[in-house]
Structure 1
Amino acid sequence: MTPASTPIPHPPWHWRARPVTYRAGSWAHIEPLLPRFRLDALRAAPHAPANPYLRTVIREPDAAFDAPVPVGVVSNTYGLAQHQDVVRRCLQGIADCGVPTEELTCELGLTDLGEWMNCRLYFPPRYHHQPADGEPIGLRLEVFNSVDGSSRLVLLLGWLRFVCSNGLVIGETKQEFHDIHNHNLDLDKIPAAIRAGMALVEQDRARLDDWQRHGFKPDRLVPWVDGPLAKTWGKKAACRVFHLCTSGQDGELVDPFAKGPASEKPWAPTLSVPGTATPAKTLYDVSQALSWIAERRTNPEERRDWQTRIPTLLQAL
């Protein structure tokens, strides 16, 4: 019998030092995994006076926890956005665009207590893009939400290259819904944000094609790696991108404390990356090297931030 949802193997992922576990399945199988929460008074004892400025966020009992569990303390103006409600609004926006939601595949990341969520919704094959290298990329919507006041609600449309699981946010469909959890939080705005992002998918495809047409001068790679890239992502990541672009291999620094620019750091290969152009000749080739590094950040919020910086880094090249 096929399990309702399956664990996704990966190196340890963490959000704010808390372990994050991912599972895959349909929304019907994923939704029951999402816990519910409520706001309650913050008291030192059951009959003590309540703090007039703060409240506590409580996880409701469910199959995983047989008693309420506090997960955070928030201001009394905090607006609680349930994970299920956020994703349901996303599904509504996707359905408004003519995409049957039963055709979506899902991945759900949760912290142990469920206070932070990352849900990924993958669009059906007709939304895939076929680059000139023959390796398709697919459209996906990522949702980030927390119920403990520690992170904003964020929606992000982007692309995933299947051959190497590279995530890429190009810019046109970077339709971010960045909202603070307060009394003004309005989840009903989510479907409109999804529709606005979906209207720009064709512009995203055009940007991908443009990156494939535009090469760069080989002598620009080293100054770019040692300059803008190292400044933005650090020398270790810049060194890995340099070797991906020149050899198609990922690796690690032999001596992380060795002096010198990123392109000259002592380095040892550990892995040949599938689908990598060797050497990189176009901006699209470089985008995939950047995406490989960004997708493997163990902090999901940091991964998202790195992916959104890729178009700006390419402009510097």
Structure 2
Amino acid sequence: MDTGTHIVMGIALGGFALVDPVVYNDPATAQSVLIAAIVGSQIPDIDTVLKLRNNAVYIRNHRGITHSVPAVILWSILISMTLYFIFPEANLFHLWLWSFIAVALHVFVDIFNAYGTQALRPFSSKWVALGWINTFDPIIFGIHIIGILFWIFGGDPRIIFTVVYMILIGYYLYRFALRKAVIQSIKRLVPDAEKIILNPTIKFFQWRVAVIAENKFYVARVYKRNIVLLDEFNRVPLPDNSMMDIAKKDKNIQAFLSFSPVYRWEIEEEPSHIEVRFIDLRYRSKDHYPFFAIIKMDYNLNVLSSYTGWIYNKDKLRKKLELNTI
């Protein structure tokens, strides 16, 4: 989820924590738990700072180790011990417990996005991305805001956020049912579909779709059960040659290939150089595929530059390639 949603989720969890009698009856514990819930709802995304280095490092690591099983445990210990020094009268066990719940909830809700997380590390490096919920869902955000406002105006947070969570459970189940219906409709349209990747949008009933079939890639847009096929590409394996071997060793290409489950590739020969492009098919927007990786090399196969990330403008891409010159 986005930062704003994680913040309101943390505040809501801090209010809901008052259902715990120890928290409810101890002001120091209640205050420290509220802070822990807000911090814990944010701290797994500390890896966002990796974007300051470069996109390759960010793509390979964002929502990776900081969202793993050991990290959830370590973050909760770090938060609770730090706050215990500030609030020595707080109940340490309950402070740790709600810190753990806050961090675990952050990771849990992230797996419902199309981006997903490596939440199963170290047991598996597989990306868990269910694709039920958009990264920013206005309904989820709005329900939390309404609950917080009721709390501010004097409502009992134990009742308010119990109701909020019950509504959200129902909402997630409804999104699951919608996703299942969309997948069934796509399977009828593309009977040989091997994998269907849904990317929910901010519009409630609209989905971006990428389909891996036996010999084709299909890109579609779905509104309710109305499916519009937008693009169709032949499914062509990567060539086994020196050019592709060099491309696959580049850090930007490696980062892209480690993250993208469905992409096409193309080679463009210019008078002075060759460009090999890898284009993710999940994020089509206004006739454009903004997430891709590109490597530029001369005709002696010396790498000149490379880049991976989200680009919506060709001029900006050229500037990025110039900045990333080897």
Q: TM-score, normalised by structure 2?
A: 0.25
| Greater strand proportion | 1
Higher helix share: 2
TM-score using structure 1 length: 0.26
Higher RCO, 1 vs 2 (CA within 8 Å, ≥6 residues apart): 1
